[in-house]
Structure 1
């Protein structure tokens, strides 16, 4: 049986896919009621599973009429994808952000599950056994090289 976080994530992704604009607005309390959980559980799911690295833009407005707006970032053309990869990685990238980017590219069908797994294994802090910030700089260089090679030669 899946846990509440998984069910909330899947529910949000389903309604996002049904949205013609690729944007949804939700009420935190209403969603918490629907899943019989506390609003902080909704915050947790959104902050960990709907990040920019994973391809989502999240806006939040607090207060009486507050809402959470989630938008799926669409990577449509080769140039947009490459620009996104380069800007996300920059000169350094931590392991969590690199895994989020790989997740986004795999979910979008730009790389395979196997390719993502291989890159993820190579990007691990257990493999890149250097002190920070050198580790994040080396990870960025390797990740750029691997992704540019994969994305430039479909």
Structure 2
């Protein structure tokens, strides 16, 4: 089974981050596009959707001839500090996609299991929170904040 190009580019960039043993890499959009024989906007799409702050990345970009993209993996001395940062980020409202990104980050950091992620997501989905926007995103924020606060508490136990 072949992955789509976005998955392949994401895996490649994450692989570079891991292999360098660093928390940051600098890439040229055009070089990555050439490597994967795709348009530069495909690289933008991957960066904008797969390397979000909710997933634990900070991205800096400079356009133009000498343009580059710097991808920085946000690290924390401990999980509780990371949870505090996420809680601050998702208040007072959070979209479903940003919530999914947060859950993926918690999975990647091995703070929750796949099963726990699915349970958490079921409480945050649109059909569960059948309210109009912006109320739905505000309620989702409160529920996810409470879940993260509970995770923090369980970390200390």
Q: TM-score, normalised by structure 2?
A: 0.92
Q: Which residue of structure 2 aligns with residue 106 of structure 1? A: 107
Between the aligned partners of 1:79 and 1:112, the Cα distance in structure 2 is 17
Between the aligned partners of 1:78 and 1:3, the Cα distance in structure 2 is 32
Please list, as runs of the form range in 1=range in 2, the aligned pairs for 1:63-102 lying within 5 A after superposition: 63-102=64-103
Q: Secondary structure in 2 aligned to 1:64?
A: coil
The yes-or-no answer on 1:5 pairing with 2:3 is no
Please list, as runs of the form range in 1=range in 2, the aligned pairs for 1:1-154 lying within 5 A after superposition: 1-154=2-155
Q: Secondary structure in 1 aligned to 2:94?
A: coil
Whether contact under 8 Å (1:61, 1:67) holds in the other structure is yes
- Superposition deviation, residue 40 in structure 1: 0.9
Show structure 2 runs of 5+ residues with no match: none
Between the aligned partners of 1:58 and 1:96, the Cα distance in structure 2 is 18
- Superposition deviation, residue 89 in structure 1: 1.5
Query: Mean alpha-carbon deviation: is it higher for 102-111 or for 72-81?
Result: 72-81
- Superposition deviation, residue 79 in structure 1: 3.4
**Runs (4+) of structure 1 moved beyond 3 Å?**
none
- Cα deviations across residues 54-80 of structure 1 (Å, max 9, x unaligned)? 111010011111100001111331431
Change beyond 3 A, Cα 1:79–1:146: closer
Whether contact under 8 Å (1:110, 1:151) holds in the other structure is no
Show structure 1 runs of 5+ residues with no match: none
- Superposition deviation, residue 81 in structure 1: 1.8
Aligned-pair Cα RMSD in Å: 1.2
